[in-house]
Every structure is written in C-alpha cells, then in structure tokens.
Amino acid sequence: MGKQNTDLNNETGISPPVNREYFIHLCNRSYILLYNGGLEAEIDKIGEEKILIAIRRILGVFQDLEEYDKCIFLRDLIDNKFKCKIEPLFDYKV
C-alpha cells in the first residue's frame, strides 16, 4: 500500500498512505468487506500476517474516530478466526 520505510518506529516497515482521508476511506471499505464475510478470500490472496497488520491499522483508525462498534466487530473477528489478541497499530499517523 505504501513505499518501503526504514523508520525503526514503524514496526511493519511499510509507510502508510499520505492522505489521511483516503486512508480512512480505505479502512471503511475494508471493514465492509470483512463485515460481509470476505476474509477467507483475502487471506488466500494476501496472507495471514499482512491481513493482521492491516486489521491492526484499521482498528487504530476506528479507535481514533471513536467508532467502537467497528472495533468490537474487528476484535471478535480476530479472536474467533485467528485465535490471538492484537493491539491497534497507529503507524498511519507518521
């Protein structure tokens, strides 16, 4: 989604998009995809690790926007599908 970044504070090594509004738009579109059951196809195409990083970023955005119903859905999805606990990722603010 972005260019490679050598910033050690960014644990994923990938720069988030520059345009915050567009990034929020993409997060909302991704949420709709996940809400409508599109996770399996994406895991097959992208891989589990990248999906988890993306969901962590989306979770960070929704937490900042105080969209807690979406946060609850994403946490439940992760708990049920991946059987792991995750923390929001806020590197999109960089």
Could you give phi then psi for residue 18, rounded to 5 degrees? -75, -40
Nearest to 92 by CA among 62, 61, 48, 49: 61
pLDDT in tens, 57-91: 999 999 999 999 999 999 998 988 888 888 999 98
What's the confidence (pLDDT) of residue 60? 94
- CA Rg, the chain, in Å? 13
> What is the rounded distance in angstroms from the CA atom of residue 41 to the CA atom of residue 61?
23
Number of Cβ atoms within 10 Å of the Cβ of 59: 22
> What is the rounded distance in angstroms from the CA atom of residue 29 to the CA atom of residue 80?
21
The pLDDT of 24-46, averaged and rounded, is: 86
Does the pTM surpass 0.75? The reply is: no
